[in-house]
Structure 1
C-alpha cells in the first residue's frame, strides 16, 4: 500500500544526490539552487573552461543552504570523462539519485546561423554531439548506476523547438535564425526520454523531460526579436530562469512519483495556439 505523504514530504529532497550537466550555464545555477533549497546535495558539472564558475556556484550554495555540493569537470564529448566523473561522484556520495541533462551547445556563429542549404556539416555534428549524443552517454553511464541501486530520476531538457517548427519570422532582419541542428537534437532528446522511460519500466527509474520556451537572456536578444517572441506567447513575455524551478522540482521529487515518459512544456502557451 502506498503511504500518503504531506506536501512538504513530496517536495523534500533531503539526502538525495543530484547531478546537473552544464551547470555553469544560464539555467544550470537556477536548477542547482532550486534542488539545494529542497535539501539535495548537488553536483555542479561542466567543462574545464567553466571550472571557476562551477566552483563559485558550489561555494555559494554551500553558504546559502548548508548542503554538501560538489563541482566536477565533465566533458560530454568523451564517454571516458563521464565515466570518470561518475566514479568521483560515487566515491564522494555513494549514489546518484537524480540526473539533470541540462548541458547544451547552440552558439551564435557564422556557421550555425548559415542558411539550411549551406549549413556546415561540422557545425551540425558538434551541436548534435553535445545536445543529443551527450544525453545518450550520460543516460548510459548514470543509468547503469541507477539500475544497480534500483532507483533513479532522470530529467532531460528539451525545447519547444524540439516539438514544433521554429517560426523564422520572429528573428526579423537580424540575420539570425534557429539552427536546424538544435531542433533535430532537442526533438531527439524528447523521444529518447520516452524510449528510456519505456525501456526502464519496472526498474524504479523515471525519465521525463522539460521543454522550455524562450528564456530571456539580456544582451543577447535584440528588441525586435523580443517583441516578436513575446507577441506569440499567451502571457506576453519570455521566461525568466526562475520560471522553470517549479517544473524541475516537481519532476525530480516524489511529487511526480506517478509521472514518467512525459514532456512537461513550460512555454507560456507558445505551442498551444
Structure 2
C-alpha cells in the first residue's frame, strides 16, 4: 500500500465507488484509490471472475478493501441494491463516487452507425445518452442521497471528455475511407452526452454545496491503447500539442486530488487534463 505523511491527499479508509471499473481508466482509478488505503467498490455491467483476475492482482481482488458489483447504472433498482450491499459490508455510506462508466462508437463500428449525421440511428443516440448522461444522473442521485443521509459530505467526480467540450476533428478519422471506401464520421451521440455532464456537475455543485458534497468534472483526452490503428494514433498525436496520447495512469493523481481534502474548496469545476488539446 502506498502511504503518505501528508493527510491533505489521504483517501485512507474512504468508501469509494468507481463505475465502469472494469474498463481501462476505471481499473486505473480503482487501483490508485485502493493502493492508498481506500475501500473501493468496482461497479461494472459485467464482472466475471476471469476478467477480474486478468485486470487486478490477486492481492487486490482478494482484499477486503476491494469488492466487485454487477451494476446497471441505468437502473435505480440495480444501483440501490449495490449500495445496500456496500453499506452492509463496510458499515457506512460512500465518501467518493467516480462516474466513469460510458460507451462510445469506435472506428470499427459498422457504416450504419458511423456514417453521416443525417443517417445516424435514433436508437443508438438514445442508448449512448442513456448510459453516459442518464446513467451518470442516476448514479449521482442514488449515491448523493446516501451522502446526504449520512451527513458527512463527499466527493463526486464525473468523467467528461474533450469531445464534450469541443467538436471532434473529423479529419483524424479520414484514413478509414482509404481502408474501407466508407468514411468514418465520429458520431454526435457521445459528444452530446458528455457535454451534458458539465452542467449536471455545476447544478449538483450548487445544489449540494452547503452539505459539503463536492461535485467536479475531470476531462481526459485520448488514451493510448495497443489495439488502436497506427494511422489513427499518428493523426491524433499530430493534433496534440504534447505530441502524444495520454498513458492510462496519467489521471490517477487528479482522482486522488479530487477525492481528498486537497480539493476541499473545489466544486462545480472542470479539471482538464488533455495534453493541451483544448488549448488550440
Please indicate, yes or no, whether the TM-score normalized by the shorter chain is above 0.5.
yes
**1:16 pairs with 2:14:** yes
Q: Is the 8 A contact 1:40 1:67 kept in 2?
A: no
Q: Distance in 2 between matches of 1:118 and 1:50?
A: 34
Pairing 1:49-198 to 2, within 5 Å after superposition: 49-52=46-49, 55-56=52-53, 60=57, 62-63=59-60, 68-93=65-90, 94-108=92-106, 109-110=109-110, 111-150=112-151, 151-174=153-176, 175-198=183-206
Question: Shift in Å at residue 233 of structure 1?
Answer: 1.4
Q: Does 1:235 align with 2:233?
A: no
Q: Tell me the SS of whatever aligns to 2:244.
A: coil
Q: Deviations over 1:215-263 (max 9, x none)?
A: 11221x2122211111111211001111111111111111111111111
> Contact 2:27 / 2:55 at 8 angstroms: preserved in 1?
no
TM-score normalized with structure 1 length: 0.92
| Count of paired positions | 266
Residue of structure 2 in register with 1:264 after alignment: 271
SS of 2:49's partner is helix
* Pairwise CA distance, 1:206: 0.2
Question: Does the 8 Å CA contact 1:36/1:61 hold for their aligned counterparts?
Answer: no
Deviations along 1:46-85, whole A, 9 cap, x unmatched? 01x3332564379627449966111111012211111111
Contact 1:234 1:270 in 2 (8 A): yes
Structure 1 residues 173-182 or 204-213, which shifts more? 173-182
Q: For residue 187 of structure 1, report the CA deviation from its aligned partner.
A: 0.3
TM-score normalised by structure 2 residue count: 0.90
Coordinate RMSD, CA, aligned: 1.9
User: Does the Cα contact within 8 Å between 2:60 and 2:66 map onto a contact in 1?
Assistant: no
Once the two structures are TM-superposed, the CA of residue 208 in structure 1 deviates from its matched residue by 0.4
Asked whether the 8 Å contact 2:47–2:68 carries over to 1, the reply is no
Q: 1:54, 1:188 → 2: CA distance?
A: 31
Cα distance in 1, alignment partners of residues 29 and 243 from structure 2: 24
Give the structure 1 partner of residue 224 of structure 2: 216
Q: Relative to 1, partners in 2 of residues 1:117 and 1:126: Cα closer, same or farther, differing over 3 Å?
A: same
Moved over 6 A (4+): none
